Amino acid sequence: MTYSPRFDEALVYASGLHREQTRKGSGIPYVNHLLGVAAIVGEAGGSEDQVIAALLHDAVEDQGGLETLEEIRKRFGEAVADMVMSCTDTVETPKPAWRPRKEAYVAHVATADEDALLVSIADKLYNARTILFGLRSDGVSFWDRFSAKRDGSLWYYRALVSAFRARGCQPLLVDELDRTVTALEADGDAA
C-alpha cells in the first residue's frame, strides 16, 4: 500500500499543530512521538485513515480542543475524526484530575471502535517504550517527569494491558505492551 496526498497533508498539519511542543521533561520535538505512533500503526497493517489518526491522535487534547476536531473532520473525514476523538481523554482546559481521567479512558477501551484501538495501543506502546528507555538511561528520577509518578503510571499501563487484552484486538501489540510494562515494573523494583 502507498499513502495518498491526504497522508502528506496530515503530516504537515500535525507538525504545524505541535511545532512548539516537546516531550514531557525533555527537549525532544513532540512530532517524534506522532511519527513513532504512526509507524507502529502502519507496520501493524493499519489503513491510511488509521495512520493519519495516529499522526493527529493528540491534536484535540493538546492543540485546540473541539475546534481542532472539527478542522480534522473537515480535512480528513469522519472516520479519522472519530478515531482521534476516541484517543482523546479530555477536551477540557484545564485538564481534570489525572486519576479519574485515566480510569475513564481505561473503561472507554471496552467500547471503543476497533480501528481506534489500534491507534490507542500504538500510542501506549510508544509511550511505555519511551519511559523504559528514559528509566534505563536516567534512572528512577525519570519518574519525576510524570504527575502520576511511578506507581500511578504503572497502574495505568497495567490496566490498559488488561483492557486491551479483554477486547482481543491486536494481540501482538498488546503482548509487546505487556512485555514493556513488565520491564518497567522490574526496572522500577530493581531500583
Q: Which residue numbers are catalytic?
A: 61-62
Side chain identity at residue 157, one-letter code:
Y
| Grid cell listed for 4 | 495518498
Burial of 111: CB neighbours in 10 Å, binned 0-12, 13-18, 19+: exposed
**Rg from Cα positions in the chain:** 16
Size (the chain), residues: 191
| Grid cell listed for 8 | 502528506
Which of 55, 64, 42, 48 has the alpha carbon at shortest distance from 12?
A: 55
Q: How far is CA 77 from CA 16, 40, 57, in A?
A: 19, 22, 14
